[in-house]
Amino acid sequence: MRTERGRERAGWYLVPAGALLCVVVLFPMVYVGWLSLERWSLLEGPARWIGLDNYIRVASDGRFWNALGNTVYFTVVSVLAELALGLAIALLLHRQGRGRALFYGVVLLPWAVPTAVSARMWEWMYNTEIGVINHLIGVEVNWLGSPGWAMHAAIAMDVWKSTPFVALLLIAGLQGIPGDLYRAAAVDGARGAMVLRTITLPLLAPVMLVAVVFRAIDAFRVFDTIYVLTGGGPADSTETLSIYVYRTLFHSLEFGYGSALAVVTLGGAAVLTMAYVWLLGWRTQ
């Protein structure tokens, strides 16, 4: 009886948190969804209801498809690179004995630096005249001013910044693998790549899935990295969906169409989340 009363009281304690969540998260989402059904621009007068016209416009907007392509490319390349490097770092640190804490601190340092600060630092490193990267390679490359290089320069900065997060998750996963499995494999004569392929990677797969989905969602809505480094240029070659939404809302002052773009971007992140839930359920069956 007391247990049931305790649960009821605990449920009432969650009411303020639920109300705050509705105000902070749910209300803005609903309001943006409502704005996406209106034509509202400070340059065109009062808002008026237009239904799904903004979404029809999105479907035929070449700039949107360019931004979507840039976003998908940024997400796929950066996440794959972070997974590969994060796995290598995790395997190295997992075997490291003395001085492990020092190595942890060095590896996690990029993740601790705010993204805007990291992007500004890399912008200076990419500078064609005083940048350390051009100085090291001995060739003057316009990293941020060339459409062929700008996106890859932004990806390199994101990989440097986010790989420690992936490595940290994978290290935690490696620590959860029983040592008896490795000892048994050693008795059977398994070594190196065979152990990695038959024991480590299969047991680490759920953690790798979590890392990939978390980073994919974060990379899909990338804003600050691109905004600081290139602002979406040159020639929209690095313009992602978040940058396009920002420009539409705050530069063009098209609140209705910008809200529709924001809803589509949120839908992309939701698709990634549902894919993760589906894959997680598939693996547990």
pLDDT of residue 154: 95
The model's pLDDT over 30-60, given as tens digits with 9 standing for 90+, comes to 888 998 999 988 777 788 899 899 999 999 9
Which segment, 23-32, 69-78, 170-179, is predicted with the most confidence on average?
69-78
Task: Give the architecture-level CATH label for domain 61-284.
Answer: Orthogonal Bundle (1.10)
The residue among 52, 115, 56, 114 whose CA lies nearest residue 242 is: 115
> Could you tell me where in the chain the CATH 1.10.3720.10 domains are found?
61-284
Which segment, 104-113, 154-163, 211-220, is predicted with the most confidence on average?
154-163
Give mean pLDDT, residues 70-86. Answer: 95
The residue among 85, 212, 229 whose CA lies nearest residue 157 is: 229
- Is this model's pTM higher than 0.85 or not? yes
Per DSSP, the residues of 19-51 read: HHHIIIIIHHHHHHHHHTTEEEETTTEEEEE-T
The model's pLDDT over 210-266, given as tens digits with 9 standing for 90+, comes to 898 889 989 998 999 999 999 998 989 999 999 999 999 998 889 999 999 999 998
CA dist., res. 85 & res. 92, Å (int): 11
CA dist., res. 251 & res. 245, Å (int): 10
pLDDT of residue 12: 67
Give mean pLDDT, residues 13-30. Answer: 78
